[in-house]
Chains A and B, each alone.
Chain A
C-alpha cells in the first residue's frame, strides 16, 4: 500500500497536461519503478500522482519520413531491446537498456522515466547522449524539442516546465547513419545492478575504414549528470586507426570526466575505469563499424 494522496489517470497526452495544470503539486508516474520506491521511502509520501501508464500512444518505436527514429517515452526497456528498428539502426541502445536491473524491471521501466528522473547512472542515458538524442516535450505551450544534453540541468533535475510531459526521444538519421557503438556498464555484479559508471562509445569510419570520421563518447556517473567527452571527441576526429589509439583515447577522456568520491566507489577508481572502459568500448565500436585497429608492433 503506497501513501498516495490522490491519483489521476490521464486518458491522453492532452488530458495529462490538463490534469497537471489542475493539480500543480502532482507528479507524473509512468512505469512507477522509480516513483513508487520514493513514495515507499517516505520521500514522496502523501503525494498526488498523474498516471500516464495507460497512454499507449506514447509506446513504441517508429521511423519518420526523414529517417528520424522516434522512441515513445513510455516504451519499456524490454520493448526497446526487442524492437526491430532499434536492432537495425542503434542496436547498442537495445543492449544498454537490456542491462537495466533485471527482466521484470525492464518490462516496467520506461525510457522516458529513465531520462526524466535526471539520474546520472541511468543505463539509457549515456547511449542516448552519445547518439545526440533529442527530447520531445509536450506542454500547455505546445511541443518543443531540445537536445538531451541540454535537458539535464543537474542531479535529479531536468528541463521539464510546469505541466510539461516528455513524449518521445528522437534520434535523427544523421546521428545513427553508418555508425556503430558499444556500451559498457560497470557494476559490482552482473544483474540487478545500478551502474558504478557506464561508458557508451560510437564511431563513424571513413569508407576505407582507416580513419575515424566521428567519435562520440557518453558517460554515466562521471559527473553529476550524464555527459559527453567533448574534448576527446574533437581531439580524435579524423584520427587514423593505428596501434595505440584506444589507449590514447582512454587517457584523453580523463580531461572530460569529473567523477566524485562516494561510498559506491572512489573518484580514483572511477577515473581509472573511465579510461579502461573507453578504451575497450572504442575497440568494440570500431570493430562493429567494420574497422580494425592494428596490433602494436
Chain B
C-alpha cells in the first residue's frame, strides 16, 4: 500500500486565510467538515445529485462532495457559517428562509441558501421560472420547494430595493 499523500492547501475560508495539510484523497466536503468543523456542509449523496454540500468557490456555487480538496488551494471558499454575522445575525436570505417557512428538516437548507446567495449576488432580477432553474440542483423532500422559492424571491426583491 502506498504512502498517504498530502498537500498543503492554503485558501480563504469565510474570509479568513487558512492552511492545512490535506490528504489528496479528500473531497472539499471532507476538508471543510473534518479540518475546519464547518458542519453546515451536509452529506446527502456524495455524488453531486442532492446539493446539500454546496459551497461558494470564487463566487460560483459547487457541490463540495465532488470537488477535490486540493483544488481549493488559492481559492476563496464560503460556507453557510460565513454568511452569518459575527454576532450571529442572519443575513437577508437566511432571515427570509426563516420568515417564509422555507425550512423544515433543515438538511438541504445550507445548500439552498448558498445557492441563493450566489444567485442574488449577480444583482439581477429573475422570474419565478428562472429562479426554479437556478435552484434546481438541490433536492428537498420536505417543502415541495414552494416556500424556498418565496424566500429567495423575497430576499432578491429586498436586495433590489423592491418590496
Chains A, B in direct contact (C-beta < 8 Å): yes
Q: Which residues of A contact B (CB under 8 A)?
A: 1-7, 9, 29, 32-33, 36-37, 40, 51, 53-54, 78, 101-105, 107-108, 190-192
Partner pick for B60 among A107, A190, A191, CB 8 A cutoff: A107
Given contacts A2-B25, A102-B137, 14 further A-B contacts (CB under 8 A): A2-B68, A3-B25, A6-B24, A32-B67, A51-B71, A103-B115, A103-B137, A104-B48, A104-B62, A105-B48, A108-B48, A108-B66, A191-B133, A192-B137
The 5 closest A-B pairs by CB, nearest first: A102-B137, A191-B136, A7-B24, A104-B63, A103-B137
In the assembled complex, 5 residue pairs joining A and B whose CB atoms fall closer than 8 Å, in A order, are: A9-B70, A33-B48, A54-B71, A101-B48, A192-B137
Per the 8 Å Cβ criterion, residues 20-52 of B in contact with A are 23-27, 30, 46-49, 51
- Complex CA gap A107/B51 in Å reads 13
CB–CB A103/B136 < 8 A:
yes
CB–CB A101/B137 < 8 A:
yes
Which residues from A are CB-within-8-Å of B30? 1
Q: Which secondary structure dominates chain A's binding surface?
A: mixed
CB–CB A190/B27 < 8 A:
no
Partner pick for A1 among B23, B51, B54, CB 8 A cutoff: B23
CB–CB A103/B70 < 8 A:
no
CB–CB B68/A192 < 8 A:
no
Q: B133 to nearest A CB, angstroms?
A: 7
CB–CB B68/A53 < 8 A:
yes
- Complex CA gap A51/B70 in Å reads 10
B139 at the interface (CB under 8 A from A): yes
B8 at the interface (CB under 8 A from A): no
CB–CB B46/A40 < 8 A:
yes
Partner pick for B2 among A6, A9, A191, CB 8 A cutoff: A6
Which residues from A are CB-within-8-Å of B133? 103, 191
- Complex CA gap A181/B9 in Å reads 44
Partner pick for A4 among B25, B138, B139, CB 8 A cutoff: B25
Q: Which residues of B contact A (CB under 8 A)?
A: 2, 5, 23-27, 30, 46-49, 51, 54, 60-63, 66-68, 70-71, 115, 133-139
- Complex CA gap A6/B4 in Å reads 8
| A103 to B, closest residue via Cβ | B137
- Complex CA gap A5/B1 in Å reads 9
Which residues from A are CB-within-8-Å of B62? 104, 107-108
- Complex CA gap A270/B92 in Å reads 47
- Complex CA gap A239/B26 in Å reads 57
CB–CB A102/B138 < 8 A:
yes
Which residues from A are CB-within-8-Å of B67? 32, 108
The residue among A2, A5, A29 with the most chain B CB atoms within 10 A of its own CB is: A2
| A37 to B, closest residue via Cβ | B47
**A7-B5, A33-B48 known; A1 and B27 CB under 8 Å?**
yes
Q: A55 to nearest B CB, angstroms?
A: 12
Q: B159 to nearest A CB, angstroms?
A: 19
CB–CB A107/B61 < 8 A:
yes
CB–CB B60/A192 < 8 A:
no
CB–CB B71/A191 < 8 A:
no
CB–CB A78/B60 < 8 A:
yes
- Complex CA gap A37/B30 in Å reads 15
CB–CB B136/A190 < 8 A:
yes
CB–CB B2/A2 < 8 A:
no
Q: A32 to nearest B CB, angstroms?
A: 5
Q: A179 to nearest B CB, angstroms?
A: 26
**A9-B70, A33-B48, A191-B136 known; A104 and B25 CB under 8 Å?**
no
| A106 to B, closest residue via Cβ | B137
CB–CB A192/B139 < 8 A:
yes
CB–CB A108/B47 < 8 A:
no
- Complex CA gap A5/B61 in Å reads 28
**A1-B26, A1-B30 known; A104 and B68 CB under 8 Å?**
no
- Complex CA gap A54/B63 in Å reads 18
- Complex CA gap A118/B35 in Å reads 36
| B50 to A, closest residue via Cβ | A192
Which residues from B are CB-within-8-Å of A104? 48, 51, 54, 61-63, 115, 137
Q: B24 to nearest A CB, angstroms?
A: 4
Partner pick for A102 among B27, B46, B136, CB 8 A cutoff: B136
Q: B53 to nearest A CB, angstroms?
A: 9
